[in-house]
Structure 1
């Protein structure tokens, strides 16, 4: 199963990922993505892998990546 890694030094809180992965991510008070359930690198369930890849590909700041784990 893959995990979603967020590079906090690159992210600028545009919210594209939270729109595409609302099952895994929410926005904090400043618009930055936070994992639902409090996990630092949330596990990506198989049914959401396509949406996760799309979020990684569409991140304008290249702040997301999928890591095996």
Structure 2
């Protein structure tokens, strides 16, 4: 089950640097996670200062 980024995202980019798979990129107005690349490790959720990332 992949992780997703909610509307609580403030586009700080903290999650992008924590993803070992490189599954996170800047989307239109907020960051997005590529579900096909996501390893389901949770590193991005741990690195998010606003708690905007959770499992789908």
| Pair in the same fold by TM > 0.5 | yes
**Residue of structure 2 in register with 1:66 after alignment:** 55
TM-score (norm 1): 0.59
SS of 1:49's partner is: coil
Whether the 8 Å contact between 2:18 and 2:44 is mirrored in structure 1 is: yes
Q: Paired residue for 1:49?
A: 40
Q: Secondary structure at the match of 1:19?
A: helix
Q: Normalising to structure 2: TM-score of the pair?
A: 0.68
Aligned residues, how many? 54
Instruction: Write out the 4+ residue segments of structure 1 that deviate beyond 2 Å after TM superposition.
Output: none
1:1-29 deviation line (CA, Å, top 9, x unaligned): x1112111x11011111112262111137
Structure 2 CA distance, aligned partners of 1:7 and 1:29? 13
Which has more strand, going by share of residues?
1
